[in-house]
Structure 1
Amino acid sequence: MAAFNLTPSDPSTLILNGIPGLEAAHIWISIPFSTFYIISLLGNFTILFVVGKEQTLHKPMFLLLCMLALTDIGMSTCVVPKALCIFWFRSKGITVDGCLTQMFVLNVVIGMQSAVLVTMAFDRYVAICDPLRYATILTNTRVAKLGLVGLIRAVLFILPMPLLLRRLPFCANHIIPHTYCEHMAVVKMSCGDTRVNRMYGLVITLVTFGLDLTLIGLSYGLIIRSVLRISSKKAHQKALNTCTAHICVMLMSYTPIIFSTLTHRFGQGIAAHVHILLANLNLLVPPMLNPIIYGVKTKELRDKMGKYTCRM
């Protein structure tokens, strides 16, 4: 099995090499990986369970929170199980189709999460700037439709990535120096002309995150303008407190993804193992912390979660 993992003869098999240079520490690295993953699953499934059970939480804000929890679960589950197989069992083989599927699903989930964060920003804008019409503007049905639009957008934008890669020849060694099929890592493994792939990946990243960050910035610009018109400092604080959790989650989600994308293309001076560790942590830490942040900062959710915790 070890020989198969290192020198595959099947041209349809690729090798995920884990973290190059830190092979001896794979077992130790697996400890925080598995710990973060378990905490992430517990936190996000708890949110889904509590919101699903409590009728009083069947509101647009908590529906969006459930969407965020699903994307968090999907993001970490796309990566961690295979990474742990590499660390624990040296099971490094993955088929070309399996690799492209992992890459497609992971990027769709990331794109969907970005759409959810935009909708959350719009939710906060309506709640603060037009509270009297909140119930009519943001219904559960409308939020569900916005989520569906975000999913369709992500699928349509990401689908060309694996299709463009499928037409390229892969080099003889078939080794990907990564724990998962990251788009640029797979592109660099090809011996063909990858200019279209590189350009498409960069354009989609800039367009998707650029558009979403612009919409989020516009929402918060309008929120700040509305808050500044309020004379009461207490009202200022109350209005801004409702945005704190979303701002924290947004910063944790966008900053590492953009940093990782740019360093993979332009950060040649960064050691490979540093980049790969950061890329994995980007997909592990936010899903672990997001439910904690919302559990602490959202009183309704905190109270309901406390009720179920006390029953245990």
Structure 2
Amino acid sequence: METLRSDQNTSFSHTVFILLGFPGISESRQLLVIPFLSIYVVILTSNSLIIYRIWVDRSLQSPMYSLISLLFAVNISCTTAIVPKFLLDLLLGMNQISLAGCLVQMFIIYLTVTFESTVVLIMALDRYVAICRPLRYSTIMTKHLLVQLTFIGLARSVFLVSPIVILVSKLQFCRSNVILNFACENMGVLNLGCGDISKTHIAGLMVRILVTVADGSLIVVSYLSILHTAMKIVIGKARQKALHTCSTHLIVAVLIYSCGILSSLVYRARTSVSLDVQNLTSAIYFLFPAAVNPIIYGLRMKEIRLCLEKSYGRKKPRIESTE
């Protein structure tokens, strides 16, 4: 993106912004309450339900399931930072947000998005050790290591996101106070700034490249190593369990990264794409994986499915772990 400059008087800076949402359907905006509220209820219910079952069921007390519950907690955090505010905008017309509130929302959104990538990477590492180093799995993937990796990942996310939010907070917003989105996304806010925004733009681009390319590459290498090792396993249930479990994690990883890439590509082509389409892809990026991930794990992982059936449906006998 080219550096944006303004000849306007930069002594004035907006401190209150308007979240425009979907401008193409401004006259029937309240109709959006139904799909957004429905999706949010599904996300809260499904993610919370599986988190609860993982933490109370002894058969699911392993690093793999702890990471799944952590991923679902991130899903809830990200969507909660976005959807309730947007629903208030639609129902009550409360589409104003202060600069401080906007920066907080931006920080939470990108902190959770970055941390989500870290969790997916740790999940790939966990499956690599379980399949490629099975005899050492219990000694390597301990609860202590899991906690350490979680805090390191969280610290990395804070380290990557904080400079961007700080740089945005130092900008003067004299262009406009209308954010052409339903949430305080980085570029939507950045484009309202006066003067040179190149440093902030470069910082955001570097974080996106680091998270997407670096984490994505490590995940691909991990699963290629897993596939190579799994092919050496004698044909039977052992290979089937290994490939089935890893393919589930891989489907989730592909879903998360593909939604992120789609959102980025649509934004880059914003001159030929309407604002409503841009906002729709943003909504897909933030909401769709969070809504679908519990369904993927619930359908494909027998342990989770049987625990849910045992607690909330018909009872079935417990089966062996797929680890």
Question: Which interval holds the TM-score relative to the shorter structure?
Answer: over 0.9
Structure 2 residue matching 1:153: 3-state secondary structure: helix
Give the superposition deviation at 1:234: 5.2
- Aligned counterparts of 1:281 and 1:242: Cα–Cα separation in 2: 25
- Partner residue of 2:298 out of 295, 299, 311: 295
* Amino acid of the structure 1 residue aligned with 2:247: T
2:220 corresponds to which residue?
Answer: 217
Give the superposition deviation at 1:259: 2.2
Structure-to-structure mapping, 1:92-171, within 5 angstroms: 92-171=95-174
- Aligned counterparts of 2:178 and 2:64: Cα–Cα separation in 1: 44
Q: Is the 8 A contact 2:86 2:182 kept in 1?
A: yes
- Partner residue of 1:242 out of 241, 245, 254: 245
Q: Is the 8 A contact 2:121 2:215 kept in 1?
A: yes
Q: Is the 8 A contact 2:132 2:226 kept in 1?
A: yes
1:197 corresponds to which residue?
Answer: 200
* Amino acid of the structure 2 residue aligned with 1:288: A
2:8 corresponds to which residue?
Answer: none
- Partner residue of 1:58 out of 57, 61, 71: 61
* Amino acid of the structure 2 residue aligned with 1:303: L
Structure 2 residue matching 1:14: 3-state secondary structure: strand
Relative to structure 1, the CA distance from residue 100 to residue 205 in structure 2 (aligned partners, 3 Å threshold; closer, same or farther) is same
Give the superposition deviation at 1:239: 2.0
| Cα displacement string for residues 156-192 of structure 1 (whole angstroms, at most 9, x for unaligned residues) | 0000111101111102531101100000000111122
2:257 corresponds to which residue?
Answer: 254
Q: Is the 8 A contact 1:33 1:284 kept in 2?
A: no
- Aligned counterparts of 1:172 and 1:189: Cα–Cα separation in 2: 5
* Amino acid of the structure 2 residue aligned with 1:194: I
- Partner residue of 1:278 out of 265, 276, 281: 281
Q: Is the 8 A contact 1:128 1:223 kept in 2?
A: yes
Q: Is 1:46–2:49 an aligned residue pair?
A: yes
- Aligned counterparts of 1:310 and 1:233: Cα–Cα separation in 2: 31
CA RMSD of aligned residues (A): 1.8
Unaligned runs of 5+ in 2: 1-11, 316-323
* Amino acid of the structure 2 residue aligned with 1:20: P
Q: Is the 8 A contact 2:14 2:176 kept in 1?
A: no
TM-score (norm 2): 0.90
- Aligned counterparts of 2:131 and 2:164: Cα–Cα separation in 1: 39
1:6 corresponds to which residue?
Answer: none
Give the superposition deviation at 1:141: 2.0
* Amino acid of the structure 1 residue aligned with 2:198: R
| Cα displacement string for residues 63-96 of structure 1 (whole angstroms, at most 9, x for unaligned residues) | 1011101100011111101111121111111000
1:226 corresponds to which residue?
Answer: 229
* Amino acid of the structure 2 residue aligned with 1:254: Y
Q: Is the 8 A contact 2:13 2:174 kept in 1?
A: no
- Aligned counterparts of 1:294 and 1:187: Cα–Cα separation in 2: 37
Structure 2 residue matching 1:159: 3-state secondary structure: helix
| Cα displacement string for residues 210-253 of structure 1 (whole angstroms, at most 9, x for unaligned residues) | 11011101101111111222342654433211112211111111
1:28 corresponds to which residue?
Answer: 31
* Amino acid of the structure 2 residue aligned with 1:53: V
- Aligned counterparts of 1:238 and 1:160: Cα–Cα separation in 2: 43
* Amino acid of the structure 2 residue aligned with 1:122: L
TM-score (norm 1): 0.93
Give the superposition deviation at 1:18: 1.2
Greater Cα offset, 81-90 or 180-189:
81-90
Q: Is the 8 A contact 1:123 1:138 kept in 2?
A: yes
Structure 2 residue matching 1:112: 3-state secondary structure: helix
- Aligned counterparts of 1:126 and 1:173: Cα–Cα separation in 2: 52
Give me the identity figure in percent.
35
* Amino acid of the structure 2 residue aligned with 1:198: H
